[in-house]
Structure formats: C-alpha cells, structure tokens
Chain A
Amino acid sequence: MKVKDLVDQLSLDVRSFKDGLGNDITGAYVSDLLSDVMGNSKKGNVWLTLQTHLNIVAVASMKDLSAIIIVGGRQAQEETIKKAEQEKVTILTTALPSFEASGRIYQLLK
C-alpha cells in the first residue's frame, strides 16, 4: 500500500511534500513519545501522533518513515511544515482521534 492509498481511504489532508505520496507503507506506529518512535518504529512506517512541533520532522526523516499523520484535528505548526518540505517528509492530518485513525489503518494494512 502507498501513502496515497491511505490519503484516499481516510480522506487525509496533505500538508507537506506531496511527492511522498508514492512512498510504500511497511506498517504503522502510534506514539507521542519521540524517543519511543526513534527506538521502535520501522523504516517505511506511517507514524500517528498528536505532536505538531518541528522535531517530529527530524524523527521521521532519521527513521525513514513513509509519512506522519497528525491526529485529532491538530494542525502542524508553520515551522514544522517548512522543515518538512526541506527534509522531504510528508505530513498528513486528520480530524479522527488516535484510536479511530489507528483502527481504520489497522484494518487497511492487516
């Protein structure tokens, strides 16, 4: 499955780096603790979080994640979007809370 398929299925908003919609998804990881994501996410995972500050971009870039999905209707800060464009990190947003977004993605990926 590609990032674009998730965007279509869940009607996600694309906030940065549209070229990343072609990325392959290897799975998903849900956490708001950045060290946990650093330690335990896998290459190609989509990452669901409610964090919106610019360090999420460095984490996603360093772990080669396929996209970040910011949940719960939160919006990425402007500097986060800017950094994400620079670092070629795709940021998506959804009004769905963590649990609902995770459940739907789980169904699609399993």
Chain B
Amino acid sequence: MALNITENIDGIFQLIGGNFSTAGEASTQLKHKLAEIGVDEEIIRRATIATFEAEMNVIIYAAAGWLHYYITPGSIKIRIEDMGPGIENIELAMQEGYSTAPEWVREMGWGAGMGLPNMKKNSDTFTVDSVVGEGTTVEMVINFP
C-alpha cells in the first residue's frame, strides 16, 4: 500500500462527557484524514468503528477524555484516556452484552455491551488499563497491510 505520508501524523481531540451532540466528530475527522492519505478502505472501516466506540464510551461514562492518534507508514495507533469512574472488572466489561450503562443511554440504542468487544475485534492490538475512581486508558493499533 503506497501511502501519501512523508512524516508521521498525529492529532488530539478533547471529548466532553455527556456531550452526545458532538459524538462522532473525532472519528469522522480521523476517517477523512486516513482517506486523504490513501489508507485502504477496510482499514478505515475498522479504525472508524474502533474510534467511534471509544469516543462514545467517554461521552457515556466519563467526565472528560482525550483521543490521540498517531499515523505512521505502517500503522495507526489510537489512545483514549479518560477521567471517568474506571472499570471494576475488565474481564466482565469485555464480555459481549455486559454493560453498566444507565437506562436512558440504553434507550438511545447505546450501552448494549458491544463497545469494548467492537474495539477489540477491529484492532490488531488492544489494551485497556483502568483505575477505579481515576479513569481508563484504551490503546489500539491497527496495522496497514
């Protein structure tokens, strides 16, 4: 894959908890950036799903957070750090269908317990670190073919 990239590209977005009206803006901008430099459509699809789910988790659960991305000729890395409640049991949180989202969030069609599994499914490496009462950091890498 010949990418139109001469140096590493990185960016950062601030996310505000509860701000559903701007949800998806970070992921949309990242999607356009990846398309601009000629990244494969399937990679863009995976990166977009993973990033949007991460963005939603910050908006649903945390007070605030930051989404950083780093694009190199070989991969894209996305790191999301939040100031949120943290995850008590990561193993449980990774199970499809498990969610601690409140009822009103579920009524919007979020909180189906698919967010973290979707992120993992769409990245080549996926790590989640969390401290209860402090926050959560998710790091995902998607390698270019």
Chain A positions near chain B (C-beta within 8 angstroms) = 32-36, 38-39, 43, 49, 51, 53-55, 57-59, 61-63, 79, 83
Contact = CB atoms under 8 A, between A and B. Distances in A.
Nearest to A62: B48
B67 to A, nearest CB: 14
Interface of B: 20-21, 23-25, 27-28, 31, 45, 48-49, 52-53, 56, 108-110, 112, 114-115, 118, 121
A38 B49 contact: yes
A91 to B, nearest CB: 16
Contacts, number: 61
A18 B119 CA distance: 33
Contacts of B27: 58, 62
Contacts of A35: 53, 56, 110, 112, 114-115, 118
A58 B53 CA distance: 12
8 contacts: A33-B114, A34-B112, A36-B112, A39-B118, A51-B108, A54-B21, A55-B24, A58-B23
Contact of B112 (A33, A43, A57, A62): A33
A32 B112 CA distance: 10
A62 to B, nearest CB: 5
The 4 closest A-B pairs by CB, nearest first: A58-B24, A35-B114, A34-B109, A33-B112
A96 to B, nearest CB: 20
Contacts of A62: 24, 27-28, 31, 48-49, 52
A54 B118 contact: no
A43 B41 CA distance: 11
Contacts of B24: 55, 57-59, 61-62
A54 to B, nearest CB: 6
A63 B24 CA distance: 11
Contacts of A83: 21
A53 B20 contact: yes
B118 A55 contact: no
A33 B52 CA distance: 14
A39 B48 CA distance: 10
